[in-house]
Amino acid sequence: MKGKQVLLTGGTGGLGSGVTPAVLAQGAEVTISYRNPKEVERLKDTLPPTDFERLHFIPANLEEEASVDNLIYRIGKVDVLIHLVGGFSMGKTHEYSFYDWKREFEINLNTTFLTCKYSLKSMLQHGYGRIVTVGSKAALEPSGQLAAYSAAKAGVVALTKAIADETKGTNITANVVLPTVIDTPTNREAMGEENSDKWVKPESLAQLICFLASEAARDIRGAAIPIYGNI
């Protein structure tokens, strides 16, 4: 990814804390979209200042089309999109609010659609692109109390495969990774640490994402890759 323009969304989140240094280590120019400036400062505190000249931050709400359009315009050219933004909520279907149902689709599926749409415009212009999206094991194996999340992540898989099909015959690829529980501070707080050694480490998921985002992965299209740790 040396010299490539990478748009990394959700780079300030739990998974982002593993993916951001891994992408920087590949020599890429990285733009991270964010909403919360405090999370930007927290992330920067974990990185060597020598990385800062290849690291840019642009505020954007990826649920709004104009905001995504403006984000891509400000970056100028996108070679690689790594879209980590997503969210999670659970509840029994008969008790689950329609508001929360729509929120799951907004944050997981609609943000993926908008960032892919505007990144693809740039990639098609330049004849090069790598798109990596994040689904979940729940997209393939939905379980109780996860209807909205599972359906939205299944949508992410479908969208990514459709893009891979549309871009056949070009040097643009799209693939999706399917983690189970990721070892993030939020999950440790919510579920305790007893089983955390079985969870997927952000750093190991980052290695898979970086490979799919690299020039070397030119022949991998429309793959939905499970990364389940020891669960």
Ligand X SMILES: NC(=O)c1ccc[n+]([C@@H]2O[C@H](COP(=O)([O-])OP(=O)(O)OC[C@H]3O[C@@H](n4cnc5c(N)ncnc54)[C@H](OP(=O)(O)O)[C@@H]3O)[C@@H](O)[C@H]2O)c1
Which spans of this chain sit near ligand X (rule: CB under 6 A)?
A: 10, 12-16, 33-36, 39, 60-63, 84-86, 88, 107, 111, 134, 136, 179, 181-182, 184, 186-187
- Closest distance between ligand X and the C-beta of residue 60, in Å? 6
Name all contacts of 181-188 with Cβ < 8 Å and 24+ positions apart: 181/229, 181/231, 182/14, 182/15, 184/13, 184/14, 184/15, 184/17, 185/14, 186/14, 187/14
- Closest distance between ligand X and the C-beta of residue 224, in Å? 13
Q: Which is nearer to ligand X, 56 or 124 (CB)?
A: 56
CB proximity list for 210: less than 8 A, separation 6 or greater: 1, 19, 22, 23, 26
Q: Which is nearer to ligand X, 51 or 63 (CB)?
A: 63
- Closest distance between ligand X and the C-beta of residue 47, in Å? 15
Q: Which is nearer to ligand X, 57 or 128 (CB)?
A: 57
Q: Which is nearer to ligand X, 120 or 206 (CB)?
A: 206
Q: Which is nearer to ligand X, 129 or 135 (CB)?
A: 135
Mode of pairing for the β-strands spanning 129-134 and 172-179: parallel
Query: How far apart are alpha carbons 66 and 28 in whole angstroms?
Result: 26
CB 103 within 8 A of CB 87: yes
What backbone phi and psi angles, to 5 degrees, belong to 105?
-70, -40
What backbone phi and psi angles, to 5 degrees, belong to 133?
-115, 170
- Closest distance between ligand X and the C-beta of residue 13, in Å? 2
Q: Which is nearer to ligand X, 58 or 217 (CB)?
A: 58
- Closest distance between ligand X and the C-beta of residue 95, in Å? 22
- Closest distance between ligand X and the C-beta of residue 134, in Å? 4
Residue among 72, 64, 162 at smallest CA distance from 125: 72
What 3-state DSSP class applies to 60? coil
Query: How far apart are alpha carbons 106 and 80 in whole angstroms?
Result: 22
